[in-house]
Every structure is written in structure tokens, then in C-alpha cells.
Amino acid sequence: MIKSLNAWTLAARSSAYGVSASSRNAWRAWKNVPDRVAPGLFPPELVVQVKALACELPAKHAVPLSRWSLGELTRHVCQSGLVAQLSQTTLWRWLHEDAIRPWQHRCWIFPRDPDFAAKAGRILDLYQRQWEGKPLQDDEFVISADEKTSVQARRRIHPTLPPQPGQPMKVEHEYERLGAWAYLAAMDVHAPRLFGRCEATSGIAPFDRLVAQAMAQEPYRSARRVFWIMDNGSSHRGQRSVQRLQNRYANLQVVHGPIHASWLNQIEIYFSIIQRKVLTPNDFNSLEMLADRLQRFERHYEIIAKPFEWKFTRDDLNKLLQRLDLPSQPAATLAV
């Protein structure tokens, strides 16, 4: 749309609810003269122009804001000459029609991996028990692994009080820090079966101990192949980690995801469950108590849990990449 140099105003009288007293001749009443604006009787062309403005960054219009608020956007629309007078309620109603919320923002990551689709697709195929176009055998397994760093043990200054009738659990705000673990975990995505350990720090050696812990047990020790899905963390990234692990275990296959794609790793879902069910609220009298709680929850989770219903497939990924693809980027933008 080409913005008019004059403001849209309406000369016809309107009611308090925005209904023109002469709705039949309402369009004839529009003219480019200063007058009182009638809410709800703006022409569609103006509404489109305002919505387009709301979808642009303030910096494009030399406005010193990082994002539009409803009030700032209303003020700018009036000052820009699009309309002489406009209420925030009317502007909100226009934007609400198309779910435009310029005052909100999300963090996004622009993948720089030119093989993003191929690497991500391999992982999605494994979740569907496929590898290189062929179904996995019964003695082939898929393990998702990662580490959750700096899991703190906090001892509350006052003991936590259990819930009472009409009152929730009460947790003291102040606490004493007792240290932190690096919690490493691996999960069979189709069982599920869990392997976890608390280490003083993360690194190559702790991660190798986690792999050894799982690969020493059946059915993984004698399996045809065990696919280990992992991200590009410093303790297990690059070709050197592939060589190190696959030389040690003949039936182990390392599958690295693309950079900035931890959302593809199912162990992250388990970590979110740990955060909600074990670490919130955080009240432990010692690091040993925290480690014991984590280990006992692993056994508890194996009893009550079922494999995640992962429905996002390679086809869904390709559709997403096509929809979000940006011409100036080698790959699509994916939400964090």
C-alpha cells in the first residue's frame, strides 16, 4: 500500500460504540480534512497500512525503540500522518485480528550448518526406527545422551513445611549453597531405560564413563548396533570423539545432531522432567542427598514412564524448513 500524505478522518457523526449515524453514506463521508475520528469506521486500506507498520522494526522508522508497545505504536501511527486520531483499543483490535503482537519477542537461532536438514533427518529417522532408508532390527538400539551442568544442592535456612489444608508447601526463600553436580544421562528412546551419573565436572572422561556404564550392560553390550545421539558439546563433538568411541566399542555408532539443535535430542525432555519433579523446589541437605534423589528417580521413572510419542518426522522437518527459509541465510531459522 502507498501511504497517503494526509490523515484519514471521518466527518460523519458517530455513536459512542463506533456506529455511524449515517452508515449508508459512511464511505462518502471520508475526506482528508482534520475532524473527529469515528472508531471502527476506518477504511480497510488504512488498517492494512497500520498492520504493515506494526510488522516493521521501529529502527526502520528512526524510532529509538527495540520493539513497539501498543502505546508507542499508536502514537507513531498518529504522528506519521496515517490518521489524525486513533485509540489504543482500536489499534489493539486491528492487530488482534491477525494475531500481531509487536510488543512480544522470541529468541531465534540461525543455523549455519549447510547440512542441517541431513543431520537432523538422520535423528528423526532413528526415532522412527529407520536408518539410511532401512528399518532397524530388534537387536539395534537408539540412545540419546547429554549432560545437565551445574545441578546445585541448596539447603534452605528454614526447613520446608509440607502442605496443609488451604495452604501450599512453604519453602524458605534464603538458602545455603552446598555445591553442584554435573549430571550426565543417557536414555534408550524406545524402552525407555535410563543411565545416569553425577560427576564433579563435565568433560571427556566423565562422558566416556557414562558411555561405558551403558555399553557394559545387556542388551547393548552384545547388540548389533547402538546409535548414540548427542549434540556438539565440548566433551563429545567432532570427528575425534567419533573415532574415540567407535574404536572402543565396535557396535557403537555416533550420531551428531546439527549445531543449535538440542531440541532434537530426547534426553533434553527428560532433563526438563528432572527439573520439574526433582529439582523444584530445590532443598537438599547435601550433595550426596541430591545424587541419591537423582539416581532413585531414574529407577522410578523407568517403572512409570513410556517412550515419548515423538511425531515430528523428516517430512515435517522438510516442510518446516521450506516454510521458514530465508533467502539471505543458508538454512532456515528455528526457534529456541
Shared-domain flag, residues 307 and 232 = yes
The reported pLDDT for the residue numbered 200 is 96
Rounded Cα gap, residues 310 and 132, in angstroms: 19
Same domain, 268 and 188: yes
* pTM score, whole prediction: 0.75
Give the pLDDT confidence score for residue 7 in this predicted structure: 55
Q: Are residues 314 and 219 in the same domain?
A: yes
User: Which pLDDT does position 27 carry in this prediction?
Assistant: 42
Q: Into how many domains does the chain fold?
A: 2
Q: Which of 36, 63, 97 is the last residue of a domain?
A: 97
Q: Same domain, yes or no, for 176 and 209?
A: yes
CA-based nearest residue to 185, from 141, 123, 228: 228
Q: Are strands 108-109 and 130-131 parallel, antiparallel or unpaired?
A: unpaired
Neighbours of 73 (CB within 10 A): 25
Please give the Cα distance from 83 to 78 (Å, whole number).
5
Cα–chain center distance at 80: 36
Do residues 89 and 141 share a domain? no
Are both 179 and 92 inside the same structural domain?
A: no
Q: What is the pLDDT of residue 321?
A: 84
Grid cell, residue 17, equals 460504540
Answer whether residue 134 is part of any domain.
yes
Structural domain harbouring 75: 9-97
CA distances from 185 to 196, 206, 298 (A): 4, 11, 10
In a domain, 4, yes or no: no
The pLDDT assigned to 322 comes to 84
Please report whether residue 310 resides in a domain. Answer: yes
* Judgement on whether residues 34 and 120 belong to the same structural domain of the protein: no
Residues 93 and 167 both lie in one domain: no
CA–CA distance, 272 with 285 (Å, rounded to integer): 23
Q: Which of 52, 69, 97 is the last residue of a domain?
A: 97
Q: Where are the alpha helices (DSSP H) in 39-145?
A: 44-54, 70-79, 88-97, 116-127
Q: Are residues 90 and 123 in the same domain?
A: no
Helix (H) or strand (E) holding 270: helix 267-277
CA nearest 124: which of 279, 270, 318?
A: 318
Contact indicator for 330, 112 with CB cutoff of 8 Å: yes
- Note whether 146 and 254 are same-domain residues: yes
Are residues 93 and 121 both part of a single domain?
no
- Give the β-pairing of 134-135 and 140-156: unpaired
Q: State the pLDDT at residue 323.
A: 79
Residue 293 located in a structural domain = yes
- Beta bridge partners of residue 196, listed in sequence order: 185
Claim to verify: residue 174 and residue 205 sit in the same structural domain: yes
Question: For each of the chain's 336 residues, which pLDDT tens digit applies?
Answer: 444 445 555 444 433 334 444 444 444 444 444 444 444 578 999 999 999 999 999 999 999 999 999 999 999 999 999 999 999 999 999 999 999 999 999 887 777 788 899 999 999 999 999 999 999 999 999 999 999 999 999 999 999 999 999 999 999 999 999 999 999 999 999 998 999 999 999 999 999 999 999 999 999 999 999 999 999 999 999 999 999 999 999 999 999 999 888 889 999 999 999 999 999 999 999 999 999 999 999 999 999 999 999 999 999 998 888 877 644 444 444 444
Q: Give me the CATH number covering residue 192.
A: 3.30.420.10
